[in-house]
A = this chain, B = another copy of it.
Amino acid sequence: MTDLVLTTFDWVPELPRGYVRDLRVRWALEEAALPYRVASVPFRNRGAEHFRHQPFGQVPWLTDGDLSIFETGAILLHLGERSEGLLPSAPEARSAAIQWLFAALNSVEMATLPWALFLFAGDSAETPGRKHLDSFVEARLRHMDGLLAGREWLAGSFSVADILMADVLRLVDRFDGLTPFAACRDYMARATARPAFVKAHADQLAHFAAAD
C-alpha cells in the first residue's frame, strides 16, 4: 500500500521543466525504490490548502501518512530514515552526509540560485553588488571543484547529499557556469547518469507535458 504522496504543480511553463524541485524528491524515491504517487495542485491559482502545506506557495511537499513536509532538504532527510542507500545509519557517515546536504543548499545553492536569477534575466550589468555575487559563486564552485576532483561522492557512498548537490550544479551548468570546473561537471554527469535520476527527470517532463 502506497502512503507516500508527492505533490507538485499541475503544469509549469517550458523554461523550468526538468528543474522543478519535485525532481529532487522523485530522484530520492526512485533511488530507494519506495512506492509513491504524484498529486497535482494548480500552478495558476494557488489556494489556501496549498499554502497550508507549503507556506511560500511553492512545490513540492510530501505527505507520509498524517505527516506533511515541505522543503526538499527536510523531505530528503525524512526519506533518508527509510533507506540506508539514501542516508547511512552509521554515526560518522550519517553526519557527513547531513553536513553535505546542508552545504549543497546553504553554501552552494545560496550563491548559485540568485546568480541564476540574473542570468535568467539576461542581466550582464557589472555593478558592485553583482561583482560580489559573481565572486561568491566562483569561490564556492572553486572549492567544490578541488574537493570533487578527489572523491566520487560527497560522503563516502552516494547519498541524499549528492542528489541535492548534483541538482544545484545542474542549474549552474544550464547557464554555462561550470565551464571552468571540470570536476564539478564530471560529478554532475556521474550523478545524472544514475537510472533513478534518468527516470525521475523523464517522469517530471512527462507529468508537465501531459497537461499541455
Contact = CB atoms under 8 A, between A and B. Distances in A.
Interface of A: 55-58, 66-67, 69-74, 77-78, 91-92, 95, 98-99, 101-103, 105-107, 109-111, 113-115, 117-123, 125, 127-133, 136, 139-140, 143, 147
A106 B107 contact: no
B123 A127 contact: yes
Contacts of A105: 73, 102, 105-106, 110
Number of copies: 2
A142 to B, nearest CB: 10
Majority-rule SS of A interface residues: helix
18 contacts: A55-B147, A56-B103, A56-B139, A56-B143, A57-B143, A58-B107, A69-B95, A69-B99, A73-B102, A73-B106, A74-B99, A77-B98, A105-B105, A105-B106, A114-B115, A118-B130, A119-B129, A121-B131
Contacts of A140: 56
Nearest to A99: B74
A133 B106 contact: no
Contacts of A131: 121
Nearest to A64: B95
Contacts of A127: 118, 121, 123, 125, 127, 130
B103 A117 contact: no
Given A71-B107, A73-B106, A128 B122 contact: yes
Residue in A57, A119, A127, A129 whose Cβ sees the most chain B Cβ within 10 Å: A129
Given A56-B107, A133-B114, A92 B74 contact: no
A5 to B, nearest CB: 15
Given A74-B98, A105-B102, A128-B121, A136 B114 contact: yes
Contacts of A74: 95, 98-99, 101-102
Contacts of A98: 74, 77-78
B143 A55 contact: yes
